[in-house]
Amino acid sequence: MSAFSVKASQQITVQIDLVVNRYLQKAVSLNRKSAPNPFVFALLKDFEPLIHNIHGLKTSLGTEMEKIAEIIANESWGKQNVSRKSNLVVSLPQNVFQKIDTILNGLSNVKYHPNYLKEKSEIIDACVNASNNFETHKYEIDLQLYNPIENHHYYLEMKGPDPNTTEVPGAKKRLLALLAFGHINFKTTKVDSILGIYYNNMYPKPYKNPKVLNYFDPAGDMMVHDDFWNFIGKNSSTFSELLQLFHDYGEKNKRKIWDGFSKLINLSNGTNPTTNPAS
């Protein structure tokens, strides 16, 4: 059985097309916001604009992947059970935030390795023994899922494989706070907060980014690569079928992509290539 319908496949293809077209338009107007690496530029100056824009394409794709995750989740979880980019005002007892800070400090100082089940137990205990004073923060949630059959709530934050150093502890704090919020708000322990790394940049080797693994437990509050996409799609072939959609788009639009990005290559001082990659 296919991981998603023809309609979902078409919606995903639209998202792919949007990001590709956006960067092909940049091939016409080279408006750089930062200076290139001078050493790379000296070596590959005729190709550097192409390299720069492909890097920009990879960065921009992250936002589109969130939308694609929503499309897949709407179909597999039911649209009424999916929310993307929702803003929550999270009010928690101060001792709960203190417990979260204690966990974060321990992880930041490498006093112990992340252990999601232990952290979850400590957070829930802090909620049960709540202080009278409350603290309030506003959080944006990349993806919120609900399984009505199991009465289970999930909060997810999506990242690429190499997030900025400051992003990771911030994501950990948000996700632990949302874990506590879900427990209090829904009055259940069937709530989990997960960091989704949407691809493994070391594949087929295991994902081993210490910036992330110092804070997140691969066996608990982190899903990477196919595990993440198959969870979103509730299907063991979601990742492979999604990858095939990208492959099919690339094959079908090879000429358009080549024509757009080739404008960024200056071949006036060199020998023209004998073959056209789009042919």
Whether residue 214 is found in the same domain as residue 243: no
Whether residue 227 is found in the same domain as residue 243: no
Whether residue 145 is found in the same domain as residue 262: no
Q: Give the list of residues 6+ apart from residue 24 with CB closer than 8 angstroms, or none.
A: 256, 257, 260, 261
Per-residue pLDDT of the chain (279 residues; tens, 9 = 90+): 788 899 999 999 999 998 888 777 765 555 555 555 555 566 556 666 666 666 666 666 777 899 999 999 999 999 999 999 999 999 999 999 999 999 999 999 999 999 999 999 999 999 999 999 999 999 999 999 999 999 999 999 999 999 998 999 999 999 999 999 999 999 999 999 999 999 999 999 999 999 999 999 999 999 999 999 999 999 999 999 999 999 999 899 988 888 877 776 665 655 444 445 555
Whether residue 135 is found in the same domain as residue 265: no
Angstrom distance (rounded) from CA 234 to CA 229? 8
Structural domain that includes position 137:
78-235
Last residue of a domain, one of 220, 235, 250: 235
**Nearest CA among 134, 99, 94 for reference residue 118:** 99
Q: What are phi and psi of 200, to 5 degrees?
A: -100, 110
Whether residue 187 is found in the same domain as residue 88: yes
Whether residue 142 is found in the same domain as residue 88: yes
Whether residue 3 is found in the same domain as residue 113: no
Whether residue 163 is found in the same domain as residue 222: yes
Report the domain count for the chain. Answer: 2
Whether residue 241 is found in the same domain as residue 222: no
Whether residue 70 is found in the same domain as residue 183: no
Whether residue 246 is found in the same domain as residue 230: no
Whether residue 204 is found in the same domain as residue 89: yes
Measure Cα distances from 107 to 69, 115, 214, 219, 220 in Å. Answer: 29, 10, 6, 16, 15
